[in-house]
Amino acid sequence: MNGPEIHIEFAPGLGVFVPHARRSGITPVGTDGSSTLGHVVESLGVPLTEVGALVVDGHEVPFSHIPAAGESVRVDAVTRPQRVPGAPLRFLLDVHLGTLARRMRLLGIDTAYESTDIGDPALAARSAAERRVLLSRDRGLLRRRELWAGGFVYSTRPDDQLRDVLGRFAPELKPWTRCTACNGLLAKATKEQVADQLESGTERSYDVFAQCADCGRAYWKGAHHDRLETVVERALAEFGT
């Protein structure tokens, strides 16, 4: 572009989004004289959901700032833990994050997720309608203007994804209170209430049951419990209060 040239520097945490040559130090950027600084940063590959502050010549500016020639811009990453004011903290995960969704629900975090791909516009609209923080590894999705709030999920590994989200948003943890299948709240249930979902061995071996208030699914400390317990204990040890 032939407009004003500025100089830009990205925080180390944002290096993953920008071309290699811009990952360290200050580099020049040609602007068009009318685009906002937010747009310029986004066009270089960084989702604005990941930007904590834009600092021009030492002063923080809004995303709507129009850069002028010679300005020196520092792009900071979001601070952790990141506060999302305006609604109770709750999440919406895109179709690729099913394992993360189940683990977040296991920890009692309000996490909407659908295993069918409803498409980017519908996901963004749901984020806005329900005031949910949209989590995704899709930068295009995170650029949608309708989003209530969003966050890029940095890892492809569910263990790391969970630590990333817990460290970033510091949600309150209430393990074993939500249905991992549908996000509904669990209530204590008697053996009789859930009997139709139990194999005879399960019925003999267990006495403590819970049931999802929304989908009716029964829960007990069964075969997968040790693995789930490990997920819960690790999360509480590092992120519990």
Residues forming contacts to Zn ion in the complex (CB under 5 A) are: 179, 181-182, 184, 212, 214-215, 217
Determine the Cα angle at 31 with ends 25 and 34, to 5°: 140
Please, which residues have CB within 8 angstroms of residue 36's CB and are 6 or more apart in sequence?
63, 64, 65, 66
Rounded to an integer, what distance in angstroms lies between the CA atom of residue 56 and that of residue 75?
9
Contact 73, 7 (CB under 8 A): yes
Nearer to Zn ion, 6 or 101 (CB): 101
| Least gap, CB of 122 to Zn ion (angstroms) | 22
Alpha carbon of residue 140 to chain centroid: 15
Nearer to Zn ion, 147 or 210 (CB): 210
Contact 143, 47 (CB under 8 A): yes
Please, which residues have CB within 8 angstroms of residue 88's CB and are 6 or more apart in sequence?
110
Q: Which two tokens stand for residue 2?
A: 């032939």
Nearest to 47 by CA among 124, 104, 115, 116: 124
| Least gap, CB of 72 to Zn ion (angstroms) | 52
| Least gap, CB of 165 to Zn ion (angstroms) | 21
Nearer to Zn ion, 214 or 229 (CB): 214
| Least gap, CB of 209 to Zn ion (angstroms) | 14
Residue 223's region, left for phi above 0, alpha for psi from -120 to 50, else beta, is alpha
| Least gap, CB of 110 to Zn ion (angstroms) | 13
Q: What does each C-alpha distance from 168 to 66, 103, 183 come to in angstroms?
A: 29, 16, 21
| Least gap, CB of 106 to Zn ion (angstroms) | 13
Q: What distance, in Å, lies between the first and last C-alpha atoms of the chain?
A: 50
Nearer to Zn ion, 1 or 181 (CB): 181
Nearer to Zn ion, 27 or 197 (CB): 197
Nearer to Zn ion, 77 or 182 (CB): 182
Nearer to Zn ion, 105 or 144 (CB): 105
| Least gap, CB of 213 to Zn ion (angstroms) | 8
